[in-house]
Amino acid sequence: MRLGLILLALLFVAFGAIFGALNGERIVLDFYFSAVSVPKGAALLCALLIGWSVGGLLVYVSQVPRLRRRVKALTRESRVRQTDSRALVPVSVDSDA
């Protein structure tokens, strides 16, 4: 499984390098206070990376705290059920005493 993920990552890196090489023309990005001249492929790959990161961050912020609260609640419920089931276990009493 790990080898497959490494190969998949290397495949995407190779595609990114080819994409960057094929789109080597320079473009100007104007940010109002300054302008930057960068290769088109690098600009597109950076935009893709920034979008992926922002999307992952939004999912993390919106989902993870809710799921952690749910895990804590289920853990508490499981502990309560374990203590309740232990209380119901019959204890054998020696009749010799």
8 A C-beta contact, residue 21 and residue 13: no
Distance CA 16, CA 14 (A): 5
3-state class percentages of the chain: helix first, strand second, coil last, to nearest 5: 70, 10, 20
Predicted model pTM: 0.58
Q: Considering only CA atoms, which of 44, 36, 40 is closest in space to residue 26?
A: 40
pLDDT: is 67 or 92 the higher one? 67
**Could you report the per-residue pLDDT of 9-47, keeping only the tens digit for each?**
899 888 888 887 888 899 998 988 999 999 888 888 888
91 by DSSP, 3-state: which?
coil
